[in-house]
Structure 1
Amino acid sequence: MNKTAMPAQYELASLGARRKSLFWRIHFWAALIASPFALLAALTGILYIFTPQIEQLLYADLDHVQPVGEMRTLDAAISAARLAVPAESSLRSVVPAFAPSDSVRVFFMLPDAHNAHASTDEHAAHRAAPAKTAAANRSARTAVVYVNPYTTAVLGMHTGNERFGAWSKKLHSTLLQSDSWRWLIELAASWLMVMLLTGIYLWWPRNSEKGLPQRGASGRKAWAQWHGFIGVALSVMSFVILTTGLTWSKYAGDQVRLARDSIGQASPQAPRNLTSTIIDGIAPMTWQAAADAARRQAPEIALQLIAPRDRLGTWRVSSYDPAQPKKRVDMMLDAYSGHALFYSDWKNQTAFSKATGIGIPFHRGEFGWWNQLLLLIFGLGIVFSLLSGWVMFFKRRKTGSLGLPKLLPGAWKAMPVGGWICAACLFVAMPLLAISSAALATIEIFLHYRNRKAC
């Protein structure tokens, strides 16, 4: 090829054309990096959002009971639960029955997962036997025991990720790998954000364009129109889902929490030096007394209780239903009087806490059928967007070529100042994006010099 031909060929390329070629290139790289894991995340996310219905079918006999007479004390239910786990197990927390048909949930840390289902009481061991896939979770050290609050009969037990909700959450967040693999999903989410921003730029109508799918279009043109239209139509949902997902990721999450704390938007926290006041002649509250004291002071929502660690410790109480963020509550109760030494409800939350308090349950589909329906449409839309992108790629790609979108000379110089500022903000917020972008820049430099030699 003539070495002077290429510059002359493109010297009249407009700023808009060079800029568009740059964003096409970035959009392609983002899709290449994110698509495999994003597709898995979308499919596993669709499965995860139907957790309430699936768990209702699987665990109705554990979560719900038939009300008969008066409830026994919470202490009696806990005593029964202790018989379903090894004697060395430590009690972590308890969720008392909220509705009349609810069971009591007692959470333990197991000393030895191999004996997670051991029981010193034959009847309790027999009732705990239906717990699903115990043998497959011998490495788990946590367990929840379900107890009938009216009879204190042990209904069953789950360890580790045996429960479908825990399993599907781990599948969606780590693909059933250890937490050290969470970075893969975070990397995909980071590049999905880049796909979203560059995709909106590429779709944005210019001149006489309408940006809507046109009748009569066929082949790659039709795929491109629907790919862009659906991607942009889902852009608001995409931004919410990606943002809320990144808030509890490892590296980007650390950056979000650092920014949150630096501007004073962290949730109210109880002082670390809170202690109970010992009252002569008054014994510390029992579990039932603590539950009653908490119920008198908390909104009408299911609560989770954690007992004091010692005589001067306090009871920790928090809401257990994320689907009702406006009833969120966190309390520290005096172990003798039951008075709240610390109290924080929805009104005390910061703007950031309120946003995540609504955004994260929405991400998980915990607000009911309408939330699940929106997420189902979103998930299917994402699957279509990803697959249609690859359909267009293979329709465009010439045999024997890499299929990279053509990058016009001077394209990188055409990046607007706002684009560089946006990129810098994204790099700070998403460290994995910055690291992978550096690797990508190395590849681009190599391709650039290889093409120059070829010319």
Structure 2
Amino acid sequence: MSVISDAPVAAAAEPSAVAQRLYRAIWRWHFFAGLLAVPFMISLAITGGLYLFNDEIDASLFRYRNYVTVGSTELAPSAIAEKAVSAVPGASLSTYRTPAGADRSARVTVSTEAGKVLVFVDPYTGNVLDTVGAAEEFNQVVEDLHSLDYFGTSWERIIEVVAGFAIVLTLTGIYLWWPRSQTGGVVSVRGTPARRVFWRDIHAVTGIFASVVILFMAFSGLLWSGFWGSKVNATLTANGMGYPVELWDRVPHSMLVTTDVLPKASWLMENAPVPESTVPSDGQTALPPIGLDNAVTIANAAGMLPGYDLSPPSGETGVYTAAIFPADLQYERTLHIDQYTGERLVDTAFADYPATGKLIEWSINVHKGQEWGLFNQLLMLSTCFVVIAMSVSAVVMWWKRRPKGRIGVPPAPRETRIYLGLWAIAAVFGVLFPLTGLTILAMIVLDQGVIRFVPPLRRIFS
């Protein structure tokens, strides 16, 4: 499952000595993986549980800046953007988010030397409702803590390792849970909180019921990882299973990708190239730029769902890019508009994605609790609670069983052949999930090459 496990009472009931030794070997690696993963699993569960309700948080704690009194006439987008830019000294327009409804504010992102700032503007009066650093906005902080982006790229790699460990822990946890003639601890909890078996059963029983969802969350979470996720994205795109590259065949495109011009993009579209506007040839009369107001009008006429982000052109060949990635996937869309002619150069909707891309976007939507409304949120939230319960119960039962002054690692079988199969499985896992595989390799070297031959360390870890 997803954290440190303890050997069930029924370990002695294994049908053979070899099976007992294999059991202990798997238990040992389950323990090591859990020892490293527990703090991060708890952090992921807490921050993930919070982020599931980001819309509800915005609608309650931050209602003052997200909701407005409906007026008679909205200001032009350019006037709203100008109000926002004027509110932050030395700022320039980065993106404009249209109001998501008649009673919603417009959100303008401006760029400054210190970073990007979100400015919330009443679209009827032009009043600035609030300003906050983009990296300091509450839900963004929660998201960055969830992925460890808050602490930098190197920390984000740790989450990729932990997601891989979650898969290892779940699969080994299922093996350790598997009924071996015991009369309890399979679907029921024995004893009282004063006894270690109670915590063992809490860990195992809750874990087995949530194992499928935990595996799903680990795999779908890995898609966002900087190394594994980007490799999967590139591989799918190269094989015609990513974003629909054929839509870009008829237009010139720049060196920029979607994430260079938008604050957020869908997983499938984040590396899609941004096309270029047509610059008049020598001797031709240059057309004047269409401007922000016309770009919004064109996007609205194209049927973009209200609440989309619109980025202005970057340079004379740049384009207006409108995009929205809502909970309802059928409205997910990215639109690039020529800044001179107003032509829709590339218009990509969820319906245009290949089957693989749709499946991945759907899985990410479920991971974020956005697919089936409140049921999806509660399903993911309950899984977060299970992960916390498993983590806490693992620590409690470890504390109860550990010898005084020692870590209490489950003993390693002496037979090398017991480990050969496990190492082969670890090698395959390392190919599929390289960063996790490297960490497993480091654990093997530490366990078999250092702890085993250094008496003080062998005693501490015993």
Same-fold status (TM-score > 0.5)? yes
1:331 aligns with 2:370: no
Letter in 2 for 1:65: V
Q: Deviations over 1:92-148 (max 9, x none)?
A: 11111231112111111102x3xxxxxxxxxxxxxxxxxxxxxxxxxxx00111122
Paired residues, what number? 410
Counterpart in 2 of 1:110?
112
Letter in 1 for 2:226: K
Letter in 1 for 2:413: L
CA shift in 2, pair 1:334/1:447, >3 Å: closer
Residue of 207, 212, 219 corresponding to 1:243: 219
1:41 aligns with 2:22: no
Deviation at 1:231?
0.8
For residues 25-424 of structure 1, the aligned pairs below 5 Å read 25-87=28-90, 89-111=91-113, 113=114, 141-174=115-148, 176-206=150-180, 212-214=186-188, 217=191, 219-269=195-245, 270=248, 272=253, 274-277=275-278, 283-319=288-324, 321-367=325-371, 368-410=373-415, 412-413=417-418, 416=421, 422-424=425-427
- Residues 387-396 or 174-183, more deviating: 174-183
In structure 1, C-alpha distance between the alignment counterparts of 2:145 and 2:285, rounded to whole Å: 52
Q: Deviations over 1:59-108 (max 9, x none)?
A: 21211211111112111111211211224x23211111231112111111
Letter in 2 for 1:29: F
CA shift in 2, pair 1:214/1:176, >3 Å: same
- Residues 421-430 or 52-61, more deviating: 421-430
**Conservation of the 8 A alpha-carbon contact between 1:35 and 1:188:** no
In structure 1, C-alpha distance between the alignment counterparts of 2:92 and 2:428, rounded to whole Å: 45
Deviation at 1:384?
0.9
CA shift in 2, pair 1:435/1:215, >3 Å: closer
Counterpart in 2 of 1:134?
none
In structure 2, C-alpha distance between the alignment counterparts of 1:216 and 1:37, rounded to whole Å: 28
Deviation at 1:335?
2.4
What secondary structure does 2:334 align onto? strand
Mark the runs of 5 or more structure 2 residues left unpaired by the alignment.
1-14, 255-274
**Conservation of the 8 A alpha-carbon contact between 1:322 and 1:361:** no
Deviation at 1:311?
4.1
What secondary structure does 2:345 align onto? strand
What secondary structure does 1:265 align onto? coil
CA shift in 2, pair 1:275/1:427, >3 Å: same
What secondary structure does 1:78 align onto? helix
In structure 2, C-alpha distance between the alignment counterparts of 1:216 and 1:207, rounded to whole Å: 15
Q: Deviations over 1:222-246 (max 9, x none)?
A: 3222311211211121112212222
CA shift in 2, pair 1:415/1:18, >3 Å: farther
- Residues 267-276 or 148-157, more deviating: 267-276
Deviation at 1:383?
0.9
In structure 2, C-alpha distance between the alignment counterparts of 1:391 and 1:185, rounded to whole Å: 24
**Conservation of the 8 A alpha-carbon contact between 1:50 and 1:372:** yes
What secondary structure does 2:103 align onto? coil
Counterpart in 2 of 1:131?
none
**Conservation of the 8 A alpha-carbon contact between 1:21 and 1:411:** no
Mark the runs of 5 or more structure 1 residues left unpaired by the alignment.
1-11, 114-140
Deviation at 1:215?
6.5
In structure 1, C-alpha distance between the alignment counterparts of 2:29 and 2:417, rounded to whole Å: 11
Counterpart in 2 of 1:135?
none
- Residues 27-36 or 369-378, more deviating: 369-378
Counterpart in 2 of 1:437?
440
What secondary structure does 1:283 align onto? coil
In structure 1, C-alpha distance between the alignment counterparts of 2:417 and 2:185, rounded to whole Å: 25
Q: Deviations over 1:343-362 (max 9, x none)?
A: 21112113343233223333
**Conservation of the 8 A alpha-carbon contact between 2:189 and 2:205:** no
In structure 2, C-alpha distance between the alignment counterparts of 1:201 and 1:264, rounded to whole Å: 38
- Residues 369-378 or 28-37, more deviating: 369-378
Letter in 1 for 2:219: T
**Conservation of the 8 A alpha-carbon contact between 2:177 and 2:186:** no
CA shift in 2, pair 1:350/1:422, >3 Å: farther
Identity %: 28
In structure 1, C-alpha distance between the alignment counterparts of 2:209 and 2:235, rounded to whole Å: 30
In structure 2, C-alpha distance between the alignment counterparts of 1:201 and 1:393, rounded to whole Å: 19
What secondary structure does 2:136 align onto? coil
What secondary structure does 1:42 align onto? helix
In structure 2, C-alpha distance between the alignment counterparts of 1:163 and 1:99, rounded to whole Å: 21
Structure 1 length as normaliser, TM-score?
0.81
Deviation at 1:258?
4.2
In structure 2, C-alpha distance between the alignment counterparts of 1:329 and 1:214, rounded to whole Å: 47
**Conservation of the 8 A alpha-carbon contact between 2:189 and 2:201:** no
Letter in 2 for 1:236: V
**Conservation of the 8 A alpha-carbon contact between 2:333 and 2:349:** yes
**Conservation of the 8 A alpha-carbon contact between 2:190 and 2:201:** no
CA shift in 2, pair 1:151/1:247, >3 Å: same
In structure 1, C-alpha distance between the alignment counterparts of 2:189 and 2:429, rounded to whole Å: 37
In structure 1, C-alpha distance between the alignment counterparts of 2:165 and 2:350, rounded to whole Å: 34
- RMSD value over aligned CA atoms? 2.9
Deviation at 1:363?
2.6
- Residues 15-24 or 380-389, more deviating: 15-24
**Conservation of the 8 A alpha-carbon contact between 1:330 and 1:345:** yes
Deviation at 1:428?
2.6
- Residues 226-235 or 397-406, more deviating: 397-406
In structure 1, C-alpha distance between the alignment counterparts of 2:148 and 2:70, rounded to whole Å: 39
**Conservation of the 8 A alpha-carbon contact between 1:18 and 1:411:** no
- Residues 208-217 or 356-365, more deviating: 208-217
CA shift in 2, pair 1:301/1:72, >3 Å: closer
**Conservation of the 8 A alpha-carbon contact between 1:255 and 1:429:** no
